[in-house]
Amino acid sequence: MLPLGQTNILTAGYIGKIWYPVGEVAVSLGGVQSVRWRKPRWLPTAKSRLFTIPKRPVIPVEETREIQRLYNNYRTSLRAVRHHLREEYLRTSATSEVALQQAAEEEAEHQRLMEYNRMENERIAALREIRIKKELEDDLARVAASKQKLAEQAAIKQEEALRIITETQELVKTFIKRENLEKAIEHALANPVDYNSAIDHEGHIYRGRNTKVQDVPEEDREKLARASQ
Amino acid sequence: MFPASGGARVGFRTTKAIRFAKHGCTNRPFYHIVVMEKRKSRQGHVIEQLGTFDPSVNVHGEKLCSINLDRTTYWIGSGAHISLPCSILFGLAGLLPIHPQTYIKAWRNRRTAANAEETESTSSS
């Protein structure tokens, strides 16, 4: 056996006459030339290795026979195993009877599940119908309640507005009109109001500008409303 | 990057092979057990990864290997070829009959061990 990395190039028909340079010895060896990629092709076999003949392995005859027997047995049993696996493969492959049966079973299962799915959908749809109806009713009730509440609020607001109007109308009566202006001025001049005042520690109030304590007699002093409490 | 776990196009009526695809790095080999087209290179696009094989011995003296038996039987049944190392591995795993190479290697190892023992005993005595 040749070592790894060596290949034989058959030069059949070209013995001694090939296009690339090789060693003479290599060419004459029965048309077989060994190529080692380690060194260039045109280098001949090394001088030290030129005439060496590799030693052939010596295998005893009994061992050879035994090996032969083992290989025969191995090939036979391997063929049997291969045949068995081939049968198994054909049995389970996509177009086999078992596979077709399995596919049919799967299809039936799928149909069953689809039927179940349909029934479940119907059941859920009925429940949904009821739920939606109830939701609609609830919505209507809510809207009605809200409408009523809004109406109540509007009524309250209207009442408030009416109250304000009546109050304002009351107030309008006290306004000073143009024809009454002279009269009002006369009245105001005739009745001056003095807002000046003073208080003391006891809580008496002295209105007007005459706020000296000694000037006001004891019995005429006016008590403050808060202080008197 | 093509995924190492497979996904290559499954050619119609092309020869498939179950074999090792080398991963790992320098001085640390690691193999994926893969299904590939037989004519593709070792690092070519993988149709499907069937398992892993770590040829380095771990601390417990084990070489770890994982095989997806379902898919392996499927691919063998569909006519995939099996490379020699893979068939040896499948033989040891019990999927296929034990490969003759296993027996040969075993008895040769035993013989060399016996020879070494003999030479040792003769040299010591």
* Rounded Cα gap, residues A26 and A37, in angstroms: 15
Mean pLDDT comparison of A8-12, A23-27, A96-100, B24-28, highest-scoring range: B24-28
Range ranked top by mean pLDDT from A40-44, B5-9, B31-35: B31-35
- Please state the rounded mean pLDDT for residues A181-186: 92
- Mean pLDDT lowest among A17-26, A131-140, B94-103: A17-26
Residue B7 belongs to a domain: no
Query: What domain range includes position B75?
Result: 16-124
CB B66 within 8 A of CB B52: yes
Q: What is the model's pLDDT at position A4?
A: 41
CATH number at residue B41: 3.30.1320.10
Tally of domains in chain B: 1
- Determine the distance in angstroms separating the CA of B59 from the nearest CA of chain A, rounded to an integer: 31
Residues of chain A with C-beta less than 8 angstroms from the C-beta of B76: 81-82, 85
Asked if residue B22 is part of any domain, the answer here is: yes
Q: How many other β-carbons are positioned within 10 Å of the β-carbon of residue B95?
A: 17
In a domain, B10, yes or no: no
What percent of chain A stands above pLDDT 70? 83
Of A71, A88, A90, Cβ closest to residue B100: A71
Judged against a pLDDT cut of 80, whether residue A160 lies above it is answered with yes
Q: CB B76 to CB A70 under 8 A?
A: no
Q: Residue A52: which of A29, A79, A21 has the closest Cα?
A: A29
| Contact at CB, B103 and A89, closer than 8 angstroms | no
Contact flag A88-B76 (C-beta cutoff 8 Å): no
Measured between CA atoms, the residue of chain B closest to residue A63 is: B104
